[in-house]
Amino acid sequence: MKKKKRLGIIAGVIVLLAVIGGLATPPSDSVRADSIAISIADQQEEYDVGTTIPVTLTVEPENASTEELEYETSSPSVHFSEDGIFTGTQEGDFEVFVQCGSVKSNTLNISVADITSREKAQQFAEQQAALEAEAQQLEEERAALETEAQQLEEERAALEAEAQQLAEERAALEEAQTAQAAAAQEDQGTAPQSSSDSSGSVASSSSASSADTSSGAGSSDMVWIPRTGSKYHSNSSCSNMKNPRQVTVDYAISLGYEPCKKCY
């Protein structure tokens, strides 16, 4: 009986040691990670706010447990989600990494910006610049039109002044022609009277002329003055005068005429 009891005690100790040994050996799914790496396919220089970035997580060995992995970010605005890294609503540069105990992954630098708002602001600025350029062009065209209108106004004023000058010259010419016509009519009115005088009148002038050759004609004698020239004549045909006028010698002298040396 004692021998059987000893065998039972030994068997119990072996079972206990087996249980303790089983507890001391960790299961295969509790293998600790030796290295951790995170990566982003086609990483961009910056990401828009409110977007999710797909991330690839690599743990070595492959059967290492991932239950104790800690996902760390430099700001709570950027955080990990089931689909990757959510950029949140805050702009800036952020760091993200994964850690399991003392094992730390590489660090990813992520730049977050409000790209949509920035593009809208840039688009608005471009539209504003285009409108300002168009307004400036319209202003330049308006100034050019004003300059052209002013030039046309100056040309119109110059034409009016020229037309007024021509009108004044035409009026002066018409006045001169009227005066000339009146003088011609006056000459024509006096010519017949002088020609109607008999030869006695001419003889009388000739006698007076011959009688007074040195002293000149008497103050009451009639003489002939040309339309052009500076001499008065006793004969209307002297010096081939055309349409001469018959006036008194005193009147001729008062006009500045001198006796003709041919007929006096």
Tokens of 259: 């006796």
Residues 63/31, Cβ–Cβ less than 8 Å? yes
- Looking at residue 169, its amino acid is E
% of the chain exceeding 70 in pLDDT: 76
Find where tokens 């430099």 sit.
74
Spell out the alpha helix ranges (H) of 112-232: 115-195, 199-211
Q: Please state the domain extents for the chain.
A: 31-113, 197-259
Average pLDDT over residues 53-75: 92
Q: pLDDT digits over 11-49, tens only? A: 343 433 333 344 344 444 478 899 999 999 999 999 999
Confidence category of residue 188, pLDDT binned at 50, 70, 90:
low
258, amino acid identity: E
Q: DSSP secondary structure string, 8-43?
A: HHHHHHHHHHHHHHHHHSPPGGGBPPSEEEEE-TT-
Q: What distance in Å separates the CA atoms of residue 225 and residue 250, rounded to the nearest whole number?
A: 12
| Whole-structure pTM value | 0.41
What single DSSP character describes residue 239?
A: G
Superfamily of domain 31-113: Immunoglobulins (2.60.40.10)
Q: For 105-127, how does the pLDDT look when each residue is reduced to its tens digit (9 = 90+)? A: 999 999 999 999 999 999 999 99
